[in-house]
C-alpha cells in the first residue's frame, strides 16, 4: 500500500503545559540540535500554546544557519471563521502572521471537552487550507468504541466529514494523525500492528478519492509515543511519523523519537 515519497514528520504537541521561559528553552535546545544534525532527518514541528507562539518562533530561529533541519511552528487550534466578532478565537491568518506553518485540527481533547463536531472540524480544516496552513487532522476512537469493534467506522466518519467538505484535494498539503483516545497520555501505546491497520484504512479511504494524494499523504501516529517505542511504530509501512504529547516536553526523549 505505502508508496510514493513521504518524508517523516515528528510533531510535538505541547498542549497547555509549560510557561514562557521553559518553552523558549525547550525550543532553543531543539533548534540547536536540529541545526547541528546532518542529513536524513524528519521534519519537526512544535505546537506551543497560543500566547507563546511568537516567543517560541523566535527561540526556534536561533537554531537557523546550521546544515540541518529548521523546526517548524504550529498552533493547536484554528477558528472556523476568517475574522470578526468571535471572542477568544484565533484566525488562520493570525497564526500565519505569528510564524505558523501548521495547525492541529480536531484533536480528541477538543472534540471531547470543547464539543467540536465532525462538521466544525471540517470547517476548521477548510479554513486552514484556504489560509495556506498545513492542517494536521486528528482522528481516533475511544476505548469503548474500539471494544465495540467500531474503530474503522469512527475514524472513517471523522475523515469523511473533511473529505466531503474539501475533497481529496484538501489533503494535498495536509497531514493526518491517528490518535486512539485510549492511548493518549495513558502510557498504553497502540501496538505497531494495531496502528498500521488503522493507518492503512485511512490511506485506502483517501485513495478511493485520489490515489496519488493518498500515496503522498503523511499519516502520523499519536498516543504515548516514546523514544522506546517510536522505531517500531515508524517501521510500519503506513506510519509516517508521530504526534507526540508528553514525551515532546522531555528534550532527551523527544530527540530519541526524532532520530528513531
Positions touching ligand 13P (CB under 6 A) are 13, 107, 179, 184-185, 222-225, 243-247
Task: Report how far residue 201's alpha carbon sits from residue 167's, in angstroms, rounded to the nearest whole number.
Answer: 17
Given 43, 102, 107, 141, which residue is catalytic?
107
- Whether 107 is catalytic: yes
43, 109, 116, 179: which is the annotated catalytic residue?
Answer: 179
Q: Which three cell numbers stand for residue 59?
A: 527561540
Cell 490515489, residue located: 211
For ligand 13P, the closer of residues 9 and 35 by Cβ is 9
Instruction: Identify whether the C-beta of residue 183 lies closer than 8 Å to the C-beta of residue 216.
Output: no
Q: Which residues contact 153 (CB under 8 A, 6 or more apart)?
A: none
What is the smallest separation between the CB atom of 139 and ligand 13P, expressed in angstroms? 12
Nearer to ligand 13P, 118 or 250 (CB): 250
Q: Which of 44, 68, 108 is nearest to 251 (CA)?
A: 44
Query: Are 20 and 55 in contact, with CB atoms under 8 Å apart?
Result: yes
Residue placing its CB nearer to ligand 13P in the complex, 135 or 222: 222
Q: What is the nearest approach in angstroms of ligand 13P to the Cβ of residue 169? A: 25
| Shorter beta-carbon distance to ligand 13P: residue 35 or 45 | 45
Residue whose C-alpha cell is 475523515: 159
* Closest chain position to ligand 13P (CB): 245
Host H or E run for residue 78 = none
Tell the smallest beta-carbon distance from residue 202 to ligand 13P (Å): 16
Catalytic status, residue 252: no
Work out how close the CB of 146 gets to ligand 13P at its nearest, in angstroms, rounded to a whole number: 16
**What are 221's three cell numbers?**
501516529
Q: Annotated catalytic sites, by residue?
A: 107, 179
Amino acid at each position: 500500500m505505502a508508496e510514493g515519497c513521504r518524508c517523516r514528520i515528528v510533531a510535538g504537541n505541547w498542549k497547555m503545559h509549560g510557561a514562557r521561559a521553559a518553552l523558549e528553552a525547550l525550543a532553543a535546545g531543539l533548534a540547536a540540535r536540529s541545526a547541528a544534525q546532518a542529513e536524513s532527518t524528519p521534519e519537526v514541528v512544535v505546537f506551543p500554546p497560543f500566547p507563546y507562539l511568537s516567543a517560541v518562533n523566535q527561540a526556534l530561529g536561533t537554531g537557523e544557519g546550521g546544515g540541518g533541519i529548521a523546526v517548524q511552528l504550529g498552533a493547536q487550534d484554528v477558528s472556523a471563521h476568517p475574522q470578526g466578532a468571535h471572542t477568544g478565537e484565533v484566525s488562520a491568518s493570525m497564526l500565519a502572521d505569528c510564524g505558523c506553518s501548521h495547525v492541529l485540527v480536531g484533536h480528541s481533547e477538543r472534540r471531547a471537552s470543547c464539543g467540536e463536531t465532525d462538521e466544525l472540524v471540517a470547517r476548521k480544516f477548510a479554513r486552514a487550507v484556504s489560509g495556506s496552513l498545513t492542517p494536521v487532522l486528528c482522528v481516533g476512537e475511544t476505548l469503548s468504541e474500539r471494544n465495540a469493534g467500531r474503530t474503522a467506522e469512527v475514524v472513517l466518519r471523522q475523515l469523511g466529514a473533511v473529505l466531503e467538505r474539501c475533497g481529496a484535494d484538501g489533503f494535498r498539503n495536509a497531514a493526518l494523525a491517528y490518535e486512539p483516545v485510549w492511548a493518549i497520555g495513558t502510557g498504553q501505546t497502540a501496538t505497531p500492528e494495531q496502528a498500521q491497520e488503522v493507518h492503512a484504512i485511512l490511506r485506502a479511504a483517501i485513495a478511493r478519492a485520489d490515489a496519488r494524494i493518498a500515496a503522498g499523504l503523511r499519516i502520523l501516529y499519536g498516543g504515548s509515543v516514546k523514544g522506546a517505542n517510536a522505531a517500531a511504530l515508524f517501521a510500519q509501512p503506513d506510519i509516517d511519523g508521530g504526534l507526540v504529547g508528553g514525551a515532546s516536553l522531555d528534550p532527551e526523549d523527544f530527540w530519541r523519537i526524532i532520530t528513531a
